[in-house]
Structure 1
């Protein structure tokens, strides 16, 4: 879709920020969680520099929330994830995996705990609302599960903190990484968290009244004017640099947490009851046969992110696939996330990748590719 006559229907929803994103220059959209998401504000490389040098505002209303409430809300939420939630405080967030009975990953949301028995799962692109409602039916637990009127924006980049101070005052400086606070901004009800899909300093601003979407977007853009805030979209370049997953690309229902190196998100040595526990125990005991790695691809700068999986071969044998690839103008390298056979996953291993531009050499390297200890985002 490349012009303002997008021809949207009613079966796919628009964001509460839709009009503002079009006004601010969105020229292309894709679909995520049954909703349109702006994916084009011009050059992806310029969007990347805007993000890492100043700040960008991204409409991520497509990160729909699954709201879990009721007397057994904590117990039910723990049932959905292998990550131990026993130390999750009210006001805290955690990155979690949702697994099925075979240990496959259904989603990798951020979990927010708003109150003792009030949780949100802030979703990647899959139908976890239906999954959770289905699990609840025969769970015997007292829970209510719905999608609330909640739509996030992401304000990300090094000057995002200054913009947030201008909007919310100095006490926003006390908001710690992966914590949340409730705010009312001139009559607009919000939850603000120190999270985001960028590996940069940033915030997610969860609007709790969809009628005020454009008002909120414009208010943030106005506050950011003196800091050269730009409208933007989540950066494939930066998220791959940071080794962050894109669901359906780097993980799916047939991927288990151990293949991704997510052992820390799977807590098997306790009494927690969660879906997929027995399967994950067996997978851990047996060992994995493939593993996610980082790659550098030796060719001229890629023209854009890959739109198909690229085959990896060694000695003419298929040993895996590239799941996400992009040229990093900062690192001046083509970088990629790939799933390869375990025996080929060692740092320094070399093989060939077939892209839409030819076949090239590549080498396994450490990931994340930039700021591996995440000092930027957590500072």
Structure 2
């Protein structure tokens, strides 16, 4: 009999398997203490109604403002897709690489070509280890010829970058800076941001940057986000001094647009096929196992960490094979409407009932009128149209103890308002981006 922590799902691609025990919503209260950092927006989030949080990058991360009895996360979703929302995303710690060798160092640690990022622009990037595992997937901002900011996802990228340079000795300073972002997302985000920053904001291209002042505080604005909707991020300089100035300015300006403070919209990012590091992938995941293969360029001549192994993996795939047992796919599935975060990696079975994979990110899609999810299945069962079953907890199952039907589908689940580079390159018939 298999161990419930590690059932009969083939995780031989991994050194440390995911814990697949189905323990449910364990009734444990989060301890608030000095062990975890409070961002300069934390008290403002609490004032705005934040009632639950998690930890991300060792910082408290708001994950709910509207309580379940008042409609919960789907009320926040409606505000995002119909109006405009503000998110506390100070957990996106800003790691600065600055100095004469900033471009060369950055080009060595990311898979894409840093030399093609002009000052005042950014890119979505990944950094890999020598085995090709994805260490982080930051938004990378180039403030100047000699200055890059890594707006990081949930891993200790600062320590990795500093460690790399111990032996490489590039002429750069690598440190965390006192800059914290908020996201402004939704169809009315451009109008709100133009009110805050001036009409010239409307000229910022996707992944373009603008330096300005909001509420008396110096900020950097990028047209980026975690949703697939129109959106921006405001990076507040000297954030521990200026957080309230910017936050309150956004609240005041946002009144006429029906602004709502919400938690990061995982329901919308799933529909857009946007991954969450630590939930959908980690340092043992190759970009070729998930929808990040386009991040491995075919024409980058310069060396970078992981290049040899990633090019080996691509050669195997180009030859018609797949060098891994498991692959991430998009899923549609039955059951009751999944309108909250999953407490476990729910098991996926084949149509004969044999467990073979697990769900990482599920949610209800009102637009598609179905539950959608990202999940891991064997490569041999990853073709679009493959039928399968998902073992949902009683909270969401149609019949207690009976798995619901599911199907492998293409990602994204629906077209983004602001298509990301993956979607753009797919439309162009390319499988990589520079």
| Fold shared, TM-score > 0.5 on shorter chain | yes
Compared CA separation, residues 373 and 255, structure 1 to 2 (3 A): farther
For 1:76, what is the secondary structure of its paired residue? Answer: helix
* 1:243-281 Cα deviation digits (max 9, x unpaired): 110111111111101111322211243321111111112
Q: How far did residue 218 of structure 1 move?
A: 0.9
Preserved contact between residue 67 and residue 121 of structure 1 (Cα < 8 Å): yes
SS in 2 for 1:294: strand
The alpha-carbon distance between structure 1 residues 216 and 373, as it changes in their structure 2 partners (threshold 3 A), is closer
Task: Work out which of the residue numbers 362, 372, 378 in structure 1 matches 2:406.
Answer: 362
* CA contact 2:327–2:377 (8 Å) conserved in 1: yes
Pick the aligned partner of 2:230 from 174, 194, 201. 201
Distance 2:408 2:416 in 1: 16
Return 5+ residue gaps in structure 1 as ranges: none
In structure 2, the residue corresponding to 1:167 is in which secondary structure? helix
Which residue does the alignment assign to 1:150?
A: 179
CA contact (8 A) 2:342 2:362 kept: yes
Bigger strand fraction: 1
CA distance in structure 2 between the aligned counterparts of 1:26 and 1:201, rounded to whole angstroms: 24
Query: Where do residues 57-136 of structure 1 align in structure 2 (5 Å cutoff)?
Result: 57-136=86-165
Q: Secondary structure at the match of 1:286?
A: helix
1:183: which partner in 2? 212
Q: Which runs of 5+ in 2 are unaligned?
A: 1-28, 67-71, 395-400, 424-434
Length-normalised TM-score, structure 2:
0.83
Q: Are residues 175 and 269 of structure 1, via their aligned partners in 2, closer, same or farther at CA, if it must alter by over 3 Å?
A: closer
Taking structure 1 as the reference length, what is the TM-score of the superposition? 0.94
Number of the residue aligned with 1:166: 195
**Partners in 1 of 2:408 and 2:137 — Cα distance?**
25
Greater mean deviation of Cα atoms: 109-118 or 313-322: 313-322
Partners of 1:271 and 1:164 lie apart in 2 by 39
CA drift of 1:55 comes to: 0.6
Q: Which residue matches 2:246?
A: 216
Q: 1:34 to 1:169 in 2, by over 3 A?
A: same
- Structure 2 contact 228–419 (Cα < 8 Å) conserved: no
Task: Answer yes or no: is the 8 Å Cα contact 1:268–1:277 preserved in 2.
Answer: no
Is the 1:201–1:376 contact (alpha carbons within 8 Å) kept by the matching residues of 2? Answer: no
8 Å Cα contact 1:54/1:229 also seen in 2:
yes
> How far 1:373 sits from its partner (Å)?
7.6
Residue 237 of structure 1 is matched in structure 2 by 267
Could you give the per-residue CA deviations for residues 107-139 of structure 1, whole angstroms, max 9, x where no partner exists? 111100000010011011110000001001101
Whether the 8 Å CA contact 1:324–1:336 is kept in 2: the answer is yes
Q: What secondary structure is seen at the aligned counterpart in 1 of 2:359?
A: strand
Deviation at 1:372, TM superposition (A): 5.2
Contact kept, 8 Å, 1:57 with 1:231, in 2: the verdict is yes
Of the three residues 273, 297, 306, the one matched with 2:342 is 306
The answer (yes or no) to whether the contact 1:39–1:233 under 8 Å persists in 2 is: yes
Distance apart, 1:7 and its partner CA = 5.9
Please say which of residues 84-93 and 155-164 is displaced more in the overlay. 84-93
Secondary structure in 2 aligned to 1:196?
Answer: coil
> Over residues 68-87 of structure 1, what are the superposed CA-to-partner deviations in whole Å (9 max), with x where a residue is unaligned?
01111111111111112231
Q: Does 1:35 align with 2:59?
A: yes
Q: What root-mean-square deviation, in Å, do the aligned CA atoms of Structure 1 and Structure 2 show?
A: 1.9
Counterpart pick for 1:352 among 371, 379, 389: 389
**In 2: Cα distance, 1:223 partner to 1:48 partner:** 21
2:48 maps to which residue? 24
Q: Distance in 2 between matches of 1:103 and 1:55?
A: 38
> Between Structure 1 and Structure 2, how many residues are aligned?
374
Confirm or deny that 1:267 pairs with 2:297: yes
1:144 positional shift: 0.7
1:261–1:291 CA contact under 8 A, matched in 2: no
The residue aligned with 1:279 is: 309
- Which position in structure 2 is the counterpart of 1:138? 167
**Corresponding residue for residue 13 of structure 1:** 37
